Amino acid sequence: MCSGRVDLSFVLKAFSNGIDGVFIGACHLNECNYVTHGNYHTQNMVLLAKRLLEYIGINPNRLRLQFMSGAEANVFVESVNDFTKTIKGIGPLGKAEGIHEEQMKAKIEEVMKLVPYIKVVMNEKLSKRLENPHEDPDAFKDYFTKEEVEKLFTETVSYWIDPAKCQACMTCARRCPVEAIDSKKNMVHIIDQDKCIKCGTCFNACPPRFGAVTKIVGQPVPPPIPEDQRTIVRKGKEKEVA
């Protein structure tokens, strides 16, 4: 399997399940068997993952990327043995960091919920092809800064549909890639914040004449209005009632 198929969520899931260390083996850069050159993406993903682990208090050395070819069995053995020795030296996950197991799991799951959002925000840097002549996984350790990672959590973007502006046109719901919008005919639409991946599709799709989708940065999202208050009364209907 191409190392480019190793998703950030896979790495976090492993740690969430209590794994003490994650080792990723990748082909040498510029020697990819596929046109995608996924190992460049893997290199960037690992750099970002290390920063995320560091942010939540996990030793980033628990994650390692090693470049090697299928013919370099000696490199594989030496690398795995060295990594195993490193992890044993660090100690069990959580205990070595002084973080309780449940707290550790909660921290990791918080990051996992934001993975789609993180990918959107960091897409440009994740896609960049960093030339690494010595194939040193730590050569670009400062590529993702602590400040950038901190902003992901302190300035997280959320989207909310203003009940006073929504006209239930269903445009946002049809465009949402994860079906996170509760849309019913003639009823104010509501974004399910647990399902929302914060991609901004609804914000861009909402017709300008309505402007119902609001972008919220670093602030809590207002609670959804009660079901019995979601019915939209058209202006024509109001006149008929009067």
Query: What is the 3-state secondary structure of 51-67?
Result: HHHHHCCCCHHHEEEEE
Q: Can you say whether residue 94 is alpha, beta or left, with left for phi > 0 and alpha for psi between -120 and 50 degrees?
A: left
Residue 65's alpha-carbon distances to 44, 45, 60, in angstroms, are 10, 10, 11
Instruction: State the pLDDT at residue 238.
Output: 47
Helix 146-154 to helix 38-55 angle (10° resolution) is 70
Which residue numbers in the chain have pLDDT < 70? 234-242
Tell me if 2 sits within 8 A of 34, measured CB to CB.
Answer: yes
Residue 230's alpha-carbon distances to 84, 137, 167, 195, 225, in angstroms, are 57, 53, 11, 20, 7
Question: What residue ranges define each of the domains in the chain, with the CATH number in brackets?
Answer: 3-154 (no CATH), 157-233 (3.30.70.20)
Please state, in angstroms and rounded to a whole number, the distance separating the CA atoms of residues 21 and 88.
Answer: 9
Backbone angles phi, psi at 32, to 5 degrees: -70, 140
Instruction: State the pLDDT at residue 235.
Output: 60
Please state, in angstroms and rounded to a whole number, the distance separating the CA atoms of residues 213 and 217.
Answer: 13
Instruction: State the pLDDT at residue 236.
Output: 56
Please state, in angstroms and rounded to a whole number, the distance separating the CA atoms of residues 68 and 5.
Answer: 17
How far is C-alpha 171 from the geometric centre of its chain's CA atoms?
Answer: 25
Please state, in angstroms and rounded to a whole number, the distance separating the CA atoms of residues 99 and 114.
Answer: 21
- 78: amino acid identity, one letter: E
Please state, in angstroms and rounded to a whole number, the distance separating the CA atoms of residues 123 and 113.
Answer: 17
Q: Which of 214, 220, 226 is nearest to 188 (CA)?
A: 226
Q: Which of 24, 18, 23 is nearest to 108 (CA)?
A: 18
